[in-house]
Every structure is written in C-alpha cells, then in structure tokens.
Structure 1
Amino acid sequence: MIKVRWIDRGREPQVAPNPAYPNGIDVDLSDGAKVACLAELPCPARRIGLYILKCDECGQTAAITTAGRPDDPRSAKLGCRK
C-alpha cells in the first residue's frame, strides 16, 4: 500500500504542457526491481508542487514534482525494498 501526499508550492504553471503527453506520464522509479507497486496519482495536479510517496509495507519513499499541467505524472512505480 503506497500512501500519496501532495505538497502545494502555491504557484501556477508558467510553461505550456508537452503535447506528446496530454493524459499524463507514468513514472518508473523501480530501477528494474523484480517486485514493485504502482501508485495512481491525481493528474493533473492542482498547481506546482510535489507528490511524496511512501510504501507501508517496505518503507520505500520517493518524491515526484508536479507542474499543474496535463503532462504531470499520473502513476508511479516503486521497487520493493524487502
């Protein structure tokens, strides 16, 4: 179970989104791990900020920035630390 927390930096996007990713991107942070979990992320984020991810099972953590645009991360794959 991956808990997702978003930290709002209170700023609005300043750059146009990448048109190649109109429905967000999938971020793979697993580094090829044999066991991994997938976290769905709200996309687009409300503004510029970051997602903090933490797995309750193994303690793996990660941070992913957001820009408040359609090309923000929509999922993140974390490798298991067990």
Structure 2
Amino acid sequence: MIHVCWIDRGNEATQPPNPAYPDGVDLDVTRGAKPFCQAALPYPAKRCGYYTVACDVCGFTAMVTTAGRPDDPRSIKLPCKLEPVKWR
C-alpha cells in the first residue's frame, strides 16, 4: 500500500502556473523500471508544500513539491524495490 502525506509550508505560490499543464502533472520516477506502482495524489494541493510518498510493501519513498496551482502533481508512479530493478 502506498501512503501519501502532505506537509503544508504555509506559503502561497509567487509564480504563475505552467500553462502547458492546466490539468496537473503525472509524475513517473521509475526511469522505465519494472515492476512499478502508481498512486493518485490529492489534487490540487492547498498551497506550497510537499507530499511524502512511501510504499509499505517495498520501502520506496519519494518527496514531491507542490505550489497549490493547476500544474501541481496529480499522480506518481514508483519503482518497486522487491525485485532487482530492470532499467529500460
């Protein structure tokens, strides 16, 4: 199971969102590795902060920043550490 926790930094974004991503960003940190897991992130974030993302099956962890804008991440794909990683 993947656990997602948002940490509020208490700041509002000072820069405009990237117009190329009006519906958010799907992050892929696998670099083509298989197997992998995918999880939705609460979207959009309330304001500037970050998500900690952790898999309690294999132990992979990641941290993802947010700005409370339309170009915030909306999902993340993580590589699984249970098997040797097979890069591309």
> Normalised by the size of structure 1, how large is the TM-score?
0.96
Name the counterpart of 2:42. 42
Equivalent pairs, count: 82
User: Higher strand fraction: Structure 1 or Structure 2?
Assistant: 1
Name the counterpart of 2:61. 61
Q: RMSD of aligned C-alpha atoms?
A: 0.7
**What are the ranges of 5 or more consecutive residues in structure 2 without an aligned counterpart?**
83-88
What is the percentage of aligned positions where both structures have the same residue?
A: 61
Q: Distance in 1 between matches of 2:19 and 2:66?
A: 16
Task: Note the 1:1-82 alignment, pairs <5 A.
Answer: 1-82=1-82
**What are the ranges of 5 or more consecutive residues in structure 1 without an aligned counterpart?**
none
Q: Secondary structure at the match of 2:65?
A: strand
Supply the AA of the counterpart residue of 2:68. G
Supply the AA of the counterpart residue of 2:12. E
Mark the structure with the bigger radius of gyration.
Answer: 2
Runs of 4+ in 1 over 4 A off after TM superposition: none
CA drift at 1:32: 1.5
CA drift at 1:59: 0.5
> In the TM superposition, what whole-angstrom CA distance separates every residue of 1:55-81 from its partner, at most 9, and x where no partner exists?
011000000000110100000000000
Q: Distance in 2 between matches of 1:23 and 1:61?
A: 25
Name the counterpart of 2:85. none
> Normalised by the size of structure 2, how large is the TM-score?
0.90
